[in-house]
Structure 1
Amino acid sequence: MSISMYEMSVPVFIDHFEMWSGILLKGETFAEIRKIDQEILVKGRLAPDMYPLDRQIQIGTDMVRKGIARLAGVDAPSYEDSEITFSDLQERIKNTVHFLHSITPEQMIGSEDKAIAFSIRENEFTFEKGSDYLTQWIIPHFFFHMTTSYNILRSNGVKLGKRNFVKM
């Protein structure tokens, strides 16, 4: 029995967005308890040349929202990238999960063989197969940005562990 494009993407992303939301909640709670301005964590970075936490979440949600929309042949909702608080970031994740719940398995039938082409700024990207787009682009980017968000908060003292990242 084979696994469908829907099964290996949408439910996985929904589950991990819920975990990501939990990671952010721990960051927000940490800031409240320690009386740290949220902006310090929301704008926290691992290195000076890396994006801050808020941008990691913006890119991670964009990758999934736009990617699944391309595979399903629907329009992705547009977001403004204006989040400045943990609450704003939670709302962005919630909206992304809401969008994912609107995608049906039937919309993604045949997407494994669908050619995908798009541009980001001046860069053009082409995938001959939707399965390659999902496994070589969307999934790795999502987990990179989720992991980086986790690491930003952890490096700032937020008590996080493997159970906050992986269902056990």
Structure 2
Amino acid sequence: MPLSMYQASVPVLLHALGNLSAILNKALLNAESRKFDAAVLLQARLAPDMFPFIRQVQIVTDTAKGCGARLAGVDIPSFPDTETSFDELQQRIAKTVVFLQGLQPAQFEGSESRDIVLKFPHQTLNFTGQDYLQFFVLPNFYFHLTTAYAILRHNGVPLGKVDYLGGGG
């Protein structure tokens, strides 16, 4: 049986979101053990023209919920970007997980050929569902996830590949 659009998206996103949640926990514990305010990490960035850590996490969750909703043909839940703490970021991740877990594989049937249109202020992107998943969602999701990981690692949080990859599927 070929890999379905559901199988290629939702379980993959859920696994990585679980890893991100564990990484946030590890960062918070590390800040406590080093006796500094973890809030400093929320605004940390790798380069002056890159988004800070907090925005990286917001984009990871936006990408995940947008993917699930668009491929399932349902409305995308709206989460205001108002987080100011690790706890609030964890809540955002948890809301995203609950949303994705509520989607059913049958909702994704035929989504590989569904037209997906993304409108941005200066451009519009048109995809089939499969191209959207493979060439937009997954690269974008992992770019921001990796950047969030790298920001924490750069700031001394003892993370390794196993933290990023997590356990088996």
2:140 aligns with 141
Counterpart in the other structure of 2:114: 114
- In 2, Cα distance between the equivalents of 1:51 and 1:66? 20
Instruction: Give the corresponding residue for 1:167.
Output: 166
Which residue does 1:131 correspond to in 2?
130
Partner of 2:62: 62
In structure 2, list runs of 5 or more residues that go unmatched. none
Question: Are 1:154 and 2:140 an aligned pair?
Answer: no
| RMSD (Å), alpha carbons | 1.0
1:167: Cα distance to partner?
A: 3.4
CA distance in 2, matches of 1:16, 1:118: 23
TM-score for both structures, normalised by structure 1: 0.96
Q: Distance in 2 between matches of 1:142 and 1:36?
A: 29
Instruction: Name the amino acid aligned to 1:100.
Output: L
**For structure 1, which runs of at least 5 residues remain unmatched after alignment?**
none
Aligned residues: 167
Tell me the secondary structure at the aligned position of residue 125 of structure 2: strand
* TM-score normalised according to structure 2 size: 0.96
Q: 2:11 & 2:35 partners in 1: Cα distance?
A: 36
Deviation track 1:106-164 (CA, whole Å, cap 9, x = no partner) reads 0000000111112123321111x100000000111111111000000000000000110
Please give the alpha-carbon distance, in whole angstroms, between the structure 1 residues aligned to 2:24 and 2:120.
27
